[in-house]
A = this chain, B = another copy of it.
Amino acid sequence: MAGGKDKGSGNGAGAIGQRATLRTISELTGLSQSTVSLSLRGGTALKEETRRKVAEAAKAVGYVPDRAGVRLRTGKTNVIALVLDGGDDSIDFARQMIQGIGQAIRGSRYHLTVIPEFVRTQSVETVRYVLDNRTADGVIITHTGPRDRRVQLLMDANFPFVSHGRTEFFTQHAYHDFHSEAFATVAAERLAAKGCKHLLMLVGDDSTTNHHNIVTAFRHATARLGIVGTVQDSAALRGRPDEIRQLGLDITRQANRPDGIICDSEMRAIALIGGLQDGGLHLGQGIEMIFKQTSDILPTLFPKLDSIVEDVFTAGEELTRLLLRRINGEAPETLQTLFEPSPRWRS
């Protein structure tokens, strides 16, 4: 072992050596470990003086409850697990999500463990691992599919979780989701108001529930607005950026090409713009665009570009709040929220 011993790090006083436990405080105050434990956790029936003595001693020795002890005794891990999707469609998704979660558990006893997925597929392995290993008290999953097998598994196990994204299951579960129907509708209306007659909706991952929602809403909106609506949803769009770039170039060469594009991912929007530019087509000059914004990157390059913001940080916060309440026993059906897209019209 390298640094395995004598880590008497930052306890308030300069005490060295062994870590402070309940026993330490017990010996220091002359009270029993039970009393100390009780007092520290805000027990109900304790003398004011006892409380004070314990609190002082605890502070003096820099007592921090041992997670392993608590976990062994109570079964609570005080950990929430984030299953991190392997894709990178939404720019800066991982960082913002994690920061949001971090914000929500700040000051609490909870830790965050992240379990990376290596393939973009709602794989059940990772979640099963969490279940089998009692890794956490609750799980956050993202990129949820309509009949997501992870959700199924978690519901079957009656394990607390919250999904970023809705499902089509009859049984209710906690979720927080971007309101992609509203996104599609608002975007279509905006483009129509700008005079567009032929909209192209560029969507990616067809395994998610959002994919379905967004396409349906788009179809409704264009029909209602009386304009042409095309959905571009080939396998190519889930491929490497250069494929989408090629698509952008192809569009510029089409006979009756769309005059408005809606893009549900900033990454794809970038690739597409690259392709359009290759074909000599520039935004605002014969073609309009609205994209779902998750970072500042595209707006930095094209400040006049319309976007609709999905705030992933806030999503992370909200997901965590919901999960914590779920862990605390609240009913799933009371833990379902949507994030309303916030349009940023800049042109």
Contacts and interface: CB of A to CB of B under 8 A. Distances in A.
B114 A98 contact: yes
A37 interface: no
Given A68-B71, A91-B92, A131 B300 contact: no
A86 interface: yes
Interface stretch (A23-31, A39-47, A153-161, A250-258): A153-161
Contacts of A101: 116
A10 B131 CA distance: 7
Contacts of A98: 84, 94, 114, 116
A38 B244 CA distance: 56
Interface string A86-106: 101001111100110111000
B297 A128 contact: no
B11 A270 contact: no
A133 B79 CA distance: 13
Contact of A92 (B88, B241, B270): B88
Contacts of A134: 7, 19, 66-68
B95 A93 contact: yes
Contacts of A128: 9-10
Contacts of A240: 296
A297 B66 CA distance: 44
A216 interface: no
B132 A9 contact: yes
Interface string A118-160: 1000000000100111110000000000000000010001111
B135 A111 contact: yes
**Most chain B C-beta atoms within 10 Å of own C-beta, residue among A3, A4, A328:** A3
A301 B330 contact: no
A133 B153 CA distance: 32
A271 B242 CA distance: 22
B68 A72 contact: yes
Contacts of A113: 79, 111-114
Contacts of A93: 95
A76 to B, nearest CB: 8
B132 A296 contact: no
Contacts of A271: 300
Contacts of A62: 132
Contacts of A164: none
**Most chain B C-beta atoms within 10 Å of own C-beta, residue among A9, A11, A98, A99:** A9
17 contacts: A2-B326, A2-B330, A7-B157, A9-B157, A9-B159, A11-B132, A72-B72, A95-B95, A112-B113, A112-B115, A114-B114, A241-B296, A242-B300, A245-B300, A245-B303, A274-B303, A301-B301
